[in-house]
Amino acid sequence: MAEFITLGIESSCDETAVAVVADGTIIKSNLISSQLDLHARFGGVVPELAARSHLEVVLPIYRLALEEAGIELKDVNLIAATYGPGLVGSLLVGLSFAKGLALAANIPFIAVNHIEGHIYANVLERLPIKTPLLCLTVSGGHTDLLYLERWGVYKILGRTRDDAAGEAFDKVARVLGLGYPGGPAIDKIARGVTGDLEFAQIKGLAETYDFSFSGLKTAVINYLHRQKQMGAGIDVEQVAASFQRLAVEQLLDKLFKAAHDYRVPSILLSGGVAANSYLRQRCQVEAEKRGIRIFYPERELCTDNGAMIAAAGYFHYQAGEITGLEITAQPDLKL
Ligand code: KG4
Ligand code: ZN
């Protein structure tokens, strides 16, 4: 049987990404144009610059994605694009481009929730994972603990009450002078470092599955100020590793509390922070202790990409859904 080809387009933040995916799971091409250099000197994403850059690269990236997959637009069976959440100007570029293609070539279109895209990164290049399961989605904008009775049906068990996990990594990295984005930088310099400094954590969320990272972030910042005032040195690697350990332990506490309460056989990790080596390794150990199976996407599929959008779009389309072209960007879209 011929393969079913989905084109996936993602532009919600600072990555312009286009992918060609066969049968919802097999990656034929997955191209990402990152705007890192553009935003690095500002220490974060500048929305106006991001939108302009998407506009410049979306067409060339799309052409390359088709070329690398060895197909033409007429071979595409479905077009999927992110419609939220994200930066409105950025979202509009990818979404409008995708709708234009769908209209011009008369191809079915499906709009995808970016957070759901991250979850579906877990179906790429592997066999379907059986439900029920728990999914911890940790990115620059979201920290959600989800229960999936089946794929596509989400019960939100917990969320962050303040900063997202990735946001905390980025902010701590910034005060440590590690540049943007901070997550990968902290991951790298903390490798092999024990990280045994203690920073005060919020304790009030114990009875819930909710997270809080802003207290930890502030504790790190206060510690750095104190050290500076006393003229004491700062061991950047120790601070980074300690912050990472405490942030990851908070994630693990809630995740395995839910795994116990909901008795799930499997856990998924998704989102940019799921690329974190320490989180992956600690999760693996904790899951094995309890006889739970743990899945996370390949590192480069954890951060924003078009393949995850194609995968999510494909499975919704298979379930009989289709999106009208009147849809527009929804910056505050929820799961
Ligand atoms: O999922 P993503 O690419 O974009 C959003 O939807 O937000 O996530 C980006 C976030 C950033 O905060 C980045 O610092 C973090 O994921 N991140 C990491 C790592 N790689 C990316 N955080 C910790 N360790 C990493 N290796
Ligand atoms: Zn993302």
Distance 155 CA to ligand 2 centre (A): 20
Distance of CA 136 to CAs 96, 162, 166, 172, Å?
A: 30, 17, 13, 21
273 has pLDDT over 60: yes
**What are the sequence ranges of the domains in the chain?**
5-121+302-318, 131-297
Cα–Cα distance measured from residue 293 to residue 175, given in angstroms and rounded to the nearest whole number = 36
- Is 39 within 8 Å of 90 (Cβ atoms)? no
Overall pTM > 0.75: yes
- Residue 2: the pLDDT is 86
The amino acid that residue 223 corresponds to is Y
- Residue 201: the pLDDT is 75
- Residue 35: the pLDDT is 80
b (16+ CB within 10 A) / e for 55-84: bebbeebbeebbeebebeeeebebbbbbbb
Read off the pLDDT band of 186 (50, 70, 90): very high
pLDDT tens by residue, 117-146: 999 999 999 988 999 999 999 999 999 999
The CATH superfamily label for domain 131-297 reads ATPase, nucleotide binding domain (3.30.420.40)
Out of 82, 273, 299, give the residue to mutate to test ligand 1, the one with the largest number of ligand atoms within 8 Å of its CB.
273
What number is the average pLDDT over the span 261-284? Answer: 98
Average pLDDT value over all residues in the chain: 95
Domains 5-121+302-318 and 131-297 share a fold: yes
Q: What proportion of the chain, given as a percentage, has pLDDT over 90?
A: 90
Distance 100 CA to ligand 2 centre (A): 23
- Asked if the 5-121+302-318 domain carries CATH number 3.30.420.40, the reply is yes
Q: Which atom of ligand 1 is nearest to the CA of 182?
A: 14
Binding site membership of 6 for ligand 1 (Cβ less than 6 Å): no
Q: Which two tokens stand for residue 52?
A: 């302009």
Out of 169, 217, 304, give the residue to mutate to test ligand 1, the one with the largest number of ligand atoms within 8 Å of its CB.
169
What number is the average pLDDT over the span 318-325? Answer: 97
- Residue 37: the pLDDT is 78
- Residue 48: the pLDDT is 87
